[in-house]
Amino acid sequence: MTENSLHVPVLLERSVELLAPALERDGAVVVDATLGLGGHSEALLERFPSVHLVGIDRDTDALGLSTARLAPFSDRIDLVHAVYDELPAVLETLGLREVDGILFDLGVSSLQLDTVDRGFAYSKDAPLDMRMDATTGPTAREVLATYTESELRRIFYDYGDEKLAPRFASRIVQRREVQPIETSADLVDIISAATPAAAARAGHPAKRVFQALRIEVNSELSVLERAIPAALDSLRVGGRIVVLSYQSLEDRIVKRVLQSRSRSTAPAGLPVELPEHKPEFSLLVRGAELASDEERIDNPRSTPVRLRAAERLRSVT
């Protein structure tokens, strides 16, 4: 199993196209804040011969594979084990004050989904881990074993939009009093048994619960809420950001931040817009772009993607 066989980058050509105007100057720096298996990074390094790439990932397995993949560009890359909300600290350590481009490809990676023993997939029996960084933090098994019924209900509601959250949380607490919930199959059995037949026909009953657990284990939304503003602050004037989101909770955060930084802050009725009130950023796409029908067929994981992008217009002093 190689990094290339595991991963087909989503919206690769469109991401490169949107970043291109910011990366054509000599010495440009681009950050792949979710390096993964390095597919997007490889394309950027190939197409912009003078660009320097900073790759960030919390997954040590992914870093190992991407390091091998990007070895031909070793003199133009810095790959860092970190979570993407740590971007300012990473740049400071590398002596970088600002960068030209930033890419986020959010959500769970192909490596994490396809490596059975990581426990991300409800369709494959494995220990309930779900940590993107397997070196730290509580596992999904520990969450299921220690959270109260009300806490479980909250994360299923908030992060999975699961209407059966009270039923599922109750059944999980009942089961763990009898025996520990150790594997994905254990959890799927509980969820399936608790799901009415009519609801089961609408899709796999465990999908939303697994999503909610993954988000909770990795603090994905709180990390993203810190990461997007920090990334915008790290862009030079003329710099660009591209964000690929795969579920509505992520996209809502990205949309809110990009829109707020792309509006004038001038008070209503002010006859002249002062420079300090002008928008900091300009949105580069209308709404959120989707993958084409052709890409969805060729790469089914592109089906839920939502792309948003912006360019920095002015600095804030």
CB hemisphere CA count around 69 (13 angstroms): 26
For 59, the token pair is: 């997954």
For 218, the token pair is: 């990795």
Q: 234, 217, 237: which is closest to 226 by C-alpha?
A: 234
Q: Which pLDDT does position 1 carry in this prediction?
A: 37
Q: Is 277 annotated as a binding residue?
A: no
Question: What CA dihedral angle connects 168, 173, 178 and 183, to 10 degrees?
Answer: 60
The residue whose two tokens read 């490889």 is: 42
52 beta partners: 29
* Inter-CA distances, 136 with 139, 154, 182, 225, 307, Å: 9, 24, 18, 21, 30
- Least reliable range by pLDDT among 18-32, 106-120, 178-192, 298-312: 106-120
Asked whether the beta carbons of 222 and 249 are under 8 A apart, the reply is no
Q: Is 78 annotated as a binding residue?
A: no
Over pLDDT 90: what percentage of the chain?
79
Q: Which pLDDT does position 315 carry in this prediction?
A: 87
Domain annotation for the chain: domains and CATH numbers: 3-111+220-312 (3.40.50.150), 123-218 (1.10.150.170)
Query: What integer is the mean pLDDT of 290-314?
Result: 95
pTM above 0.85, yes or no: yes
Q: Is the pLDDT of residue 2 over 60?
A: no
For 92, the token pair is: 């400071």
Farthest CA pair distance, the chain: 70
Asked whether the beta carbons of 125 and 183 are under 8 A apart, the reply is yes
3-class secondary-structure state, position 142: helix
Sign of CA dihedral 290, 292, 281, 46: positive
Average pLDDT over all residues of the chain: 91
The alpha-helical segments, DSSP class H, found in 106-148 are: 110-114, 140-146
Query: What integer is the mean pLDDT of 275-300?
Result: 91
* Inter-CA distances, 110 with 56, 61, 243, Å: 16, 12, 17
Q: Is the pLDDT of residue 62 over 50?
A: yes
Asked whether the beta carbons of 288 and 310 are under 8 A apart, the reply is no
- In sequence order, the 6+-apart residues with CB closer than 8 A to the CB of 223 are 83, 84, 85
| Residue 113: pLDDT band with limits 50, 70, 90 | low
Residue type, position 156, single letter:
F
Query: What integer is the mean pLDDT of 298-316?
Result: 93
* Inter-CA distances, 83 with 57, 78, 133, 251, 266, Å: 6, 15, 9, 19, 35
The residue whose two tokens read 């600095």 is: 315
pLDDT digits (tens, 9 = 90+) for 153-172: 999 999 999 999 999 999 99
Q: Is 112 annotated as a binding residue?
A: yes
Please tell me what DSSP assigns to residue 198. Answer: H
pLDDT digits (tens, 9 = 90+) for 134-145: 888 899 999 999
Q: Which pLDDT does position 122 carry in this prediction?
A: 81
Q: 143, 173, 175: which is closest to 159 by C-alpha?
A: 143
Asked whether the beta carbons of 239 and 22 are under 8 A apart, the reply is yes
Asked whether the beta carbons of 277 and 199 are under 8 A apart, the reply is no
Q: Which pLDDT does position 192 carry in this prediction?
A: 94
Q: Is 84 annotated as a binding residue?
A: yes
Q: Is the pLDDT of residue 120 over 80?
A: no
| Residue 186: pLDDT band with limits 50, 70, 90 | very high
